[in-house]
């Protein structure tokens, strides 16, 4: 108790002494001059406002490669042509081709940042890399969503059923993208885009024998069970895909730098 | 108008409000910079620099209702930068121990200068804590937030800074143990 009182007295004592050091009165003319100068600076400077989510997406969309748009537009064009001609087998074949392509497009865009150590450059800009990854993945997922919806419409018009659509396109796309994103997360720039492409292509086409099996299988019970399994697996793959994207963004957080905070 | 509202409007493009914001906090920032640098001209320069930094990095302000703390954190960094650029180093603790005792109260040295001298003996990180605690009236937790260190570190820096100041003031004869 006594020690505490002593400490308090010492603190008060020190406070009294320190407050003898008074600040000289601020020169009003100098203050006014400084404030005017600051106002002029503020007028000429581009003070950055916070961008809305849509603005951020649109900014990042500008950085996406042109082949992404061309490939997807080409696929959709072919898909609609085949649907119009009522060629269900061509639609199925196109969907099977589209699954690895979508994965490759996604991986190509993301692996660019890893392969060329772009994160260092990006991290020194306005947002940290985690943010840029998230926005870029959102933009790419948005484009994929449009392609998938259009493909689904085309597939349904040409007489296909939902589980087949999941087997041809959704399951390979979600599953292979998740696997490749995880590889990218673990291996970083040690893993080239070409090796990832090989994994995506081989993985996607491993689903073809499954389709052949179900077409030739005559047991109804097995067919129903298989259809259910495809639907569940697709949902699970979708969650894995979302998790992989989030994990990839979080993974780079430790490496990111927000230089503007380090004034 | 609340600070956050002003900042929101500046970000939206009402740049004239920046003057209002600077006018509101100019004195506080100047006071901090003066205590930290001990030089009037340097304090004006650092204050100006602080607001320029604020202008440049206003979009990175995300802390709600803690604008003054955010501004002081910038001022703190600007003052550190000032020391780095000017090459001024505070004297070490050993220098303080070796100072000749001058217990004569009649010595015609202004107390203000003496206190400033005492502060300048402290290392920058202790000086910051002492200024924020005694002059700006911040609580230890808030100081930890401003300086970006943990609460125990702030406590230890405050304790060490106070001990050094006590030794200095005792040697200069302005410390009275019986004083209340």
Output the 3-class SS for chain A.
CHHHHHHHHHHHHHHHHHCCCCCCCCCHHHHHHHHHHHHHHHHHCCCCCCCCHHHHHHHHHCCCCHHHHHHHHHHHHHHHHHHHCCCHHHHHHHHHHHHHHHHHHHHHHHHHHHHCCHHHHHHCCCCCHHHHHHHHHHHHHHHHHHHHHHHHHHHHHCCCCHHHHHHHHHHHHHHHHHHHHHHHHHHHHHCCHHHHHHHHHHHHHCCHHHHHHHHHCCCHHHHHHHHHHHHHHHHHHHHHHHHHHHHHHHHHHHHCCCHHHCC
In chain A, whose CA is at the least distance from the CA of B176? A13
Residues 40-79 of A with CB under 8 A from B: 41-43, 45, 47-50
What percentage of chain A carries pLDDT values higher than 70?
78
Contacts with B116 from chain A: Cβ below 8 Å: 21
Average pLDDT score over residue span A60-76: 78
- CB-closest option in B10, B53, B180 to A9: B180
What percentage of chain B carries pLDDT values higher than 70?
82
Q: Quote the pTM value.
A: 0.51
Contact A45 B174 (CB under 8 A): no
Tell me whether B60 touches chain A (CB under 8 Å): yes
What pLDDT score was predicted for residue B50? 92
Looking at per-residue pLDDT, the higher value among A46 and A194 belongs to A194
- CB-closest option in A15, A17, A37 to B174: A17
Residues 127-166 of A with CB under 8 A from B: none
Of A130-139, A253-262, B10-19, where does mean pLDDT reach its minimum?
Answer: A253-262
Distance from CA of B113 to the nearest CA of A (A): 7
Indicate if the pLDDT at residue A209 is higher than 70. Answer: yes
Contact B18 A38 (CB under 8 A): yes
Q: For chains A and B, count residue pairs whose Cβ atoms are closer than 8 Å.
A: 117
- CB-closest option in A30, A36, A50 to B59: A50
What pLDDT score was predicted for residue B30? 93
What percentage of chain A carries pLDDT values higher than 90?
0
Tell me whether B120 touches chain A (CB under 8 Å): no
Tell me whether B167 touches chain A (CB under 8 Å): no
Residue ranges for chain B with pLDDT beneath 70: 63-65, 87-110, 177-180
Average pLDDT score over residue span A126-144: 71
Tell me whether A116 touches chain B (CB under 8 Å): no
What pLDDT score was predicted for residue A126? 55
Distance from CA of A24 to the nearest CA of B (A): 8
| Averaged confidence pLDDT in chain A | 74
What pLDDT score was predicted for residue A160? 75
Contact B55 A47 (CB under 8 A): yes
- Return the SS3 of B126: helix
- CB-closest option in B51, B57, B115 to A18: B115
C-alpha distances out from residue A89 to A5, A71, A159, Å: 90, 21, 10
Tell me whether A16 touches chain B (CB under 8 Å): yes
- CB-closest option in B16, B55, B112 to A22: B112
Indicate if the pLDDT at residue A52 is higher than 80. Answer: no
**C-beta neighbour count of B48 within 10 angstroms:** 23
Contact B162 A14 (CB under 8 A): yes
Burial bucket for residue A103 (CB in 10 Å: 0-12, 13-18, 19+) = buried
């Amino acid at each position: 108790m006594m020690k505490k009182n002593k400490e308090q007295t010492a603190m008060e004592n020190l406070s009294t002494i320190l407050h003898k050091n008074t600040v000289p009165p601020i020169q009003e003319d100098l203050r006014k001059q400084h404030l005017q100068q600051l106002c002029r600076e503020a007028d000429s400077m581009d003070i950055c406002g916070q961008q809305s989510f849509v603005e951020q997406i649109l900014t990042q969309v500008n950085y996406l490669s042109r082949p992404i748009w061309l490939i997807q537009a080409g696929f959709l064009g072919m898909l609609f042509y085949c649907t119009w001609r009522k060629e269900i087998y061509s639609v199925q074949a196109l969907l099977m081709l589209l699954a690895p392509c979508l994965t490759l497009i996604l991986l190509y865009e993301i692996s660019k940042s890893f392969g060329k150590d772009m994160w260092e450059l990006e991290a020194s800009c306005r947002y940290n890399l985690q943010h840029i990854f998230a926005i870029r993945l959102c933009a790419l997922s948005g484009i994929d969503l449009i392609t998938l919806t259009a493909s689904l419409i085309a597939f349904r018009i040409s007489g296909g059923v939902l589980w087949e659509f999941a087997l041809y396109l959704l399951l390979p796309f979600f599953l292979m993208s998740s696997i490749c994103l995880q590889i990218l997360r673990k291996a970083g720039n040690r893993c080239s885009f070409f090796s990832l492409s090989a994994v995506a292509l081989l993985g996607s086409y491993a689903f073809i024998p499954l389709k052949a099996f179900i077409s030739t299988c005559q047991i109804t019970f097995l067919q129903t069970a298989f259809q259910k399994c495809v639907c569940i697996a697709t949902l699970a793959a979708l969650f894995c895909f979302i998790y992989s994207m989030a994990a990839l963004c979080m993974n780079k957080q430790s490496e990111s730098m927000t230089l503007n905070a380090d004034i | 108008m609340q600070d956050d509202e002003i900042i929101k409007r500046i970000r939206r493009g009402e740049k004239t409000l920046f003057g209002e914001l600077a006018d509101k906090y100019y004195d506080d920032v100047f006071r901090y910079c003066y205590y930290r640098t001990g030089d009037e001209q340097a304090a004006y320069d650092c204050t100006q620099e602080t607001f320029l930094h604020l202008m440049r990095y206003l979009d990175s302000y995300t802390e709600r209702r803690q604008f003054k703390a955010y501004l002081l954190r910038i001022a703190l960094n600007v003052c550190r930068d000032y020391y780095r650029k000017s090459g001024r180093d505070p004297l070490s603790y050993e220098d303080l121990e070796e100072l000749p005792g001058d217990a004569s109260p009649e010595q015609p040295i202004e107390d203000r200068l003496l206190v400033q001298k005492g502060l300048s003996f402290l290392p920058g990180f202790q000086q910051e804590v002492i200024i924020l605690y005694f002059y700006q009236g911040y609580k230890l937790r808030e100081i930890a937030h401003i300086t970006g260190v943990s609460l125990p570190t702030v406590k230890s820096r405050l304790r060490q800074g106070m001990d050094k100041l006590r030794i200095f003031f005792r040697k200069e004869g302005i410390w009275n143990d019986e004083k209340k």
